[in-house]
Structures are given as structure tokens and as C-alpha cells.
């Protein structure tokens, strides 16, 4: 196993909290921000691929995995972006490339706007542009309570929440009309995801709320950095991502080929590496 295949885990101390992360590789830094729900563990396969040509840093965003939540009662995407800038400062990273998936994509976009001098290029892997109606519906229904109970019912709720969102959009639709073309991953992959979500069962919903409220249609046109926008064929945010690409002034849009539906199997590493390496 080469050094690039190993992602080492670490904690970084900030003034009021710690951040857990995975990192590996050497060279120009790429910070990778995961989707909701979950943690950096879900980005590990892609991170290992990209770490062959650069230094990759994948934090658990606040309130996910092993990173405690922000102290803000109702954080917005800008709060997560400011938290990321704090992490860059603590790690001595003056300028980075950013990759973000879903919620992570919103955080990456906002970070590029709040600290443009700290960002070189941005990769948006699935970006949500939610209408007011979608926003209100998802805020009301998308994040089930995973508060622990003595019957253990929350464990079944968490498992079904994760399983069903790989097949339906939104996950609670559970009908043929809401199928988005995804298929279930191997049980071990789903179990690993479940474990990471359960670590933050009572805080995972905060970032979801911030992502649903994020005014992407207003913010994206202000990003001047080179941006790669992409989404897998079975990503329910594929239409949103296409629309987002039309709002970005300096964008490359990549249509990924189908891989059979494994949500982590459609490896966009080659496309991402080519974009990041181009002058």
C-alpha cells in the first residue's frame, strides 16, 4: 500500500472546539467537504484517489462524525464557511482548492465568497438550488429525529432514512414517482455510513437546514474562481447542478457516465484531477 492510499486521522484544536479530519498525500492542498448526513469517512474512496497527486484534507464538518457542532443555535452556511476558514488558519493553509458534495458544495461556494484570496479552484459535486416551496417542504420533513430512546426505535429510523435516500428523492416519498435511479450499496458501506451519522444523531440536522436555506441562486453568480460543476447520473441534485452551472461565470460542467448506480462507485477522480491540474 502506497503512502497515498493511507488517510491518517487527526484532530485540530481551534479556540472553542476541535475538528476531526482525514488527510493524506503531498503537494498542493485540496480540502474536501462531505455531504449531509455523514462524515469525511464517506469521502475516503475519492480522497484516496485524489491524494495520489496532491495533499487531501477531509474534515468532519461541525456537528458531524467526530467534530462537535458549532455554538450557533441555528447555523447558516456562512457559519460553516467561517468555521472552515478557522480550520485553514489553524493548519497554516494560506490557499487551497475546495471540493464539496451537496451540503459541502454550499460550504465550499460560500467559503470562496467570504475568503476569495484563500481559494484557488472550486469543485461542486451536486449542488442544491431549492425553490421556496422545496425549501419549506424539506425543512419540515427531511430530517427525522434521531434522538436516542429506550426502545431503540431511533436506530431503525436512522437506518431507513439512509437506505431510502439512496433510492428515493425525497427519501420519504417511498413511491415509484420518487425513484431517482440509485441502487443500494453493499451492506458494509451502509453500516459505515450509519455509524458516522449516529455519532452526531442530535446535531446532523443543523447543516441540512442551513443547506436548504442557502440562497445559492444569489450567491453563485458572485464567484469568480474557476469552478467545476458535476453530478453523478443518479444524483437527485443533477438537475439542480445543471442549473447552478448556468449561474457561475467561470464554470466547467462535467456530465459523468453511469456506473450502475453505486452512490460512491461513480468515481469522478479523473475529471476532478484534470480540472485542478489545468493552468
Residue 40 near residue 65 (C-beta atoms within 8 A):
yes
Residue 234's pLDDT is 86
Annotate 75-91 with b (16+ C-beta within 10 A) or e (fewer): bbbbbbbbbbbbbbeeb
Residue 5's pLDDT is 64
Domains annotated on the chain, with CATH: 3-131+210-277 (3.40.50.1820)
Helices (H) and strands (E) in the chain, counts: 10, 8
Distance set, CA 206 to CA 64, 69, 146, 180, 202 (Å): 10, 9, 13, 25, 9
Residue 261's pLDDT is 47
The 8-class DSSP code of residue 81 comes to H
* R_g of the chain, CA atoms, integer Å: 17
Residue 96 near residue 276 (C-beta atoms within 8 A):
no
Residue 122 near residue 97 (C-beta atoms within 8 A):
yes
Name the nearest CA neighbour of 245 among 236, 257, 254.
254
Q: What is the pTM of this model?
A: 0.95
pLDDT per position as a tens digit, 39-63: 999 999 999 999 999 999 999 999 9
Residue 139's pLDDT is 98
Residue 263's pLDDT is 45
Residue 181's pLDDT is 83
Q: What is the pLDDT along the chain (279 residues), one digit of tens a residue?
A: 454 567 999 999 999 999 999 999 999 999 999 999 999 999 999 999 999 999 999 999 999 999 999 999 999 999 999 999 999 999 999 999 999 999 999 999 999 999 999 999 999 999 999 999 999 999 999 999 999 999 999 999 999 999 999 999 999 999 999 999 888 889 999 999 999 999 999 999 999 999 999 999 999 999 999 999 999 888 999 999 999 999 999 999 998 876 544 444 457 999 999 999 998
* Spatial distance between the Cα atoms of 10 and 96, rounded to a whole number of angstroms: 19
Amino acid at each position: 500500500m502506497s503512502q497515498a492510499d493511507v488517510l491518517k486521522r487527526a484532530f485540530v484544536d481551534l479556540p472553542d472546539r476541535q475538528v476531526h479530519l482525514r488527510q493524506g498525500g503531498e503537494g498542493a492542498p485540496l480540502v474536501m467537504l462531505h455531504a449531509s448526513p455523514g462524515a469525511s469517512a464517506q469521502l475516503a474512496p475519492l480522497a484516496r484517489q485524489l491524494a495520489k497527486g496532491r495533499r487531501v484534507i477531509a474534515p468532519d464538518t461541525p456537528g458531524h462524525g467526530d467534530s462537535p457542532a458549532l455554538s450557533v443555535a441555528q447555523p447558516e452556511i456562512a457559519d460553516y464557511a467561517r468555521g472552515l476558514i478557522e480550520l485553514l488558519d489553524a493548519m497554516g493553509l494560506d490557499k487551497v482548492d475546495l471540493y464539496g458534495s451537496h451540503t459541502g458544495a454550499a460550504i465550499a461556494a460560500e467559503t470562496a465568497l467570504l475568503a476569495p484570496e484563500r481559494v484557488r479552484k472550486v469543485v461542486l459535486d451536486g449542488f442544491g438550488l431549492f425553490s421556496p416551496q422545496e425549501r419549506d417542504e424539506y425543512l419540515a420533513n427531511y430530517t427525522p429525529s434521531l434522538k436516542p430512546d429506550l426502545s431503540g426505535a431511533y436506530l431503525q429510523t436512522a437506518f431507513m432514512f439512509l437506505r431510502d435516500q439512496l433510492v428515493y428523492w425525497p427519501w420519504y416519498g417511498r413511491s415509484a414517482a420518487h425513484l431517482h435511479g440509485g441502487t443500494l450499496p453493499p451492506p458494509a458501506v451502509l453500516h459505515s455510513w450509519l455509524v458516522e451519522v449516529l455519532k452526531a444523531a442530535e446535531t446532523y440536522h443543523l447543516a441540512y437546514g442551513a443547506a436548504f436555506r442557502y440562497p445559492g441562486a444569489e450567491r453563485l453568480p458572485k464567484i469568480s474562481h474557476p469552478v467545476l460543476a458535476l453530478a453523478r447520473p443518479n444524483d437527485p441534485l443533477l438537475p439542480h447542478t445543471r442549473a447552478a452551472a448556468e449561474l457561475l461565470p467561470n464554470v466547467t460542467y462535467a456530465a459523468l457516465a453511469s456506473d450502475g448506480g453505486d452512490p460512491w462507485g461513480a468515481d469522478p477522480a479523473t475529471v476532478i484531477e484534470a480540472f485542478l491540474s489545468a493552468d
